[in-house]
Amino acid sequence: MDETEQVSELIGDIYDAALDPALWPLVLEKSCGFVHGACAALVSQNPVVGAGQFYFSWGLDPQYERLYLEKYIRLNTAATITLTSVMAGEIVSTEMLMPYDEYLSSRFHIEWAKPQGYCDFVGAILEKTACSIANVSVIRHERHGVVDDETRRRMRLLAPHFRRAVTIGNVIDLHKVEAGTLADMLDGLATVMLLVDANARIVQANLRGRAMLEERSSLRSSAGQLSASDPNADRMLRDVIAAASAGDATVGAKGIAVPIAGRDGARWVAHVLPLTSGARRQAGLNYAAVAAIFVRKAALDLPHPLETIASAFDLTPAELRVMMAIVEVGGVPEVAPVLGVSETTVKTHLQHVFEKTGTQRQADLVKLVAGYMSPLAG
């Protein structure tokens, strides 16, 4: 199987997993084979508060998975930097977030990654909110070597499809949907769902979808053809529907989240799932459809508090890592081995943090960060 065939098959599996979550471990295993890694996971995490969840994984030792959530999530400084410097859809690896030699000297690597033989990771940020980041990560063993441009290229081919599938899976929020009876099983869903053909003609709509079309504020049916009130959204939807008719891989990053402004001021987001291959192809054949469109209310897009702190005080990634380690771990002697740097380096960055934030003591930094983290602050 050449790369084109391998990618096409894997993308089809990714979209099938949007309807049947039980397929995710197999998808992660195949992703490891394609990207070249030892294990992979779909995970959501907020390293600042030490909270996270492995939704699905393959190849991970359950004991180390548990240790990560209980202890090492707070010590993974690369994850903390991801909160402030990486956008949804971007590809990340260790050296893109911090100096690699610092990573090798950090407690996280020495105590969690190295005992398992892991040396690096490559990941795609699927979603970023004010509370957490969700990502798919492939972890590299020493036998694979550190992440290089080829590794990132391969992950980049998969990233938009992971984003779309995970987003739609969250919107559907069902344990499993039989693809062949997609429309029937979603009629009671609190999310708008429409099935369309290659010409954007509506061939099926659930109850919520029919109600939205009747309101004609955001979406409407003109002679059976779907159109959006917002001209930009209408153009984007038509483009992604046309792409979906050509196959899963053709869709790419189009239609992951199409913003739709309603005439009544309401804001919606549409997600497009191709139905032209895999298990989903049966739904397409049953309803003469090339795509399923899911529409939900747009959520308020707030930055993570750490992102706000970094922006407000113009902190560099290194300064932010030191500040958060001081707040979470303790003084300079305790922080240095956690970050994998010398005490002199910690002191230098800490002095810069004090100057930029107008603070003088560790206790002042704790109060400053706590104020930004509090939901009542400001």
Residue-wise pLDDT for 177-236, tens only, equals 555 455 555 555 667 888 899 899 998 888 888 889 999 889 999 889 999 988 999 999
Whose CA is closest to 86, among 150, 137, 35, 24? 137
Considering the four listed CATH numbers 1.10.3370.10, 1.10.10.10, 3.40.50.2300, 1.25.40.80, the one that applies to the domain covering 305-373 is: 1.10.10.10
Residues counted in the chain: 378
Class for the domain spanning 3-172: alpha beta
Instruction: Pick the closest to residue 328 from 99, 41, 7, 107 (CA basis).
Output: 107
Cα→Cα distances 242→63, 210, 267, Å: 46, 22, 24
Region 303-318: mean pLDDT is: 80
Q: Where in the chain is the domain with CATH 3.30.450.40?
A: 3-172
29, pLDDT greater than 90? yes
Specify the pLDDT at position 271. 86
Percent of the chain with pLDDT over 70: 87
**Would the pLDDT of 143 be above 90?**
yes
Q: Which of 91-95, 257-261, 307-311, 342-346 has the lowest mean pLDDT?
A: 307-311
| Model pTM score | 0.74
Look over the chain and give the mean of its residue pLDDT values, rounded to a whole number. Answer: 84
* Range(s) of the chain covered by CATH 1.10.10.10: 305-373
CATH T-level topology, domain 179-297? Beta-Lactamase (3.30.450)
Average pLDDT score over residue span 353-377: 77
**Is residue 270's pLDDT more than 80?**
yes
Residue 353 pLDDT greater than 70, yes or no: yes
Task: For residue 347, give both structure tokens.
Answer: 């002191």
Per-residue pLDDT tens over the stretch 39-93: 999 998 876 667 788 999 999 999 999 999 998 888 888 887 777 778 888 999 9
Q: Is 374 exposed, middle or buried (0-12, 13-18, 19+ CB in 10 A)?
A: exposed
pLDDT at 175 exceeding the cut of 50: no
pLDDT at position 183, please? Answer: 54
In terms of pLDDT, which residue wins out, 2 or 141? Answer: 141
